Amino acid sequence: MNTYSKAYRRHHEPMVDALPEQISYRDTGCEVSSSCLQCPLSQCRFDDPLWYQQLRRQGRDNQILTAQSKTGVTVFELARQFQLSPRTIHRALRRARMPETLSA
């Protein structure tokens, strides 16, 4: 095992015992928040992309169900409104009406 000091390590190799002050980290955030330290999510969207995708889909499904129940519009009008396919609207309505035990 090669253990290099900071002066002798290769540039592509990570520093083994680097302190946080020696690591350059730019907190640029993402589409959810402008800063990682102020993010409202319980975990980072980059750590588990499927979790974040499911979270966004649940929010969209709730919006679709609310729009359908308030206005009573057809599936095709909802598809045009949300810029989705009618099949996706049908899936969203089915998931929203399905009991939580069966949807998992």
| Whether the predicted pLDDT of 99 surpasses 70 | no
Note whether residue 87 is domain-resident. yes
Mention every residue, 6+ apart, whose C-beta is less than 8 A from residue 90.
75
Please say if the pLDDT value at position 5 is more than 90. no
Range(s) of the domain holding residue 27: 20-99
Q: Is residue 15 domain-resident?
A: no
Residue 55 belongs to a domain:
yes
8 within a domain of the structure (yes/no): no
pLDDT interval class at 24 (50, 70, 90): confident
As a whole number of angstroms, the distance between CA 44 and CA 24 comes to 19
Model pLDDT, residue 1: 52
pTM: 0.59
The number of distinct structural domains making up the chain is: 1
Instruction: Say if 9 falls within a structural domain.
Output: no
Decide if 1 is inside a domain.
Answer: no
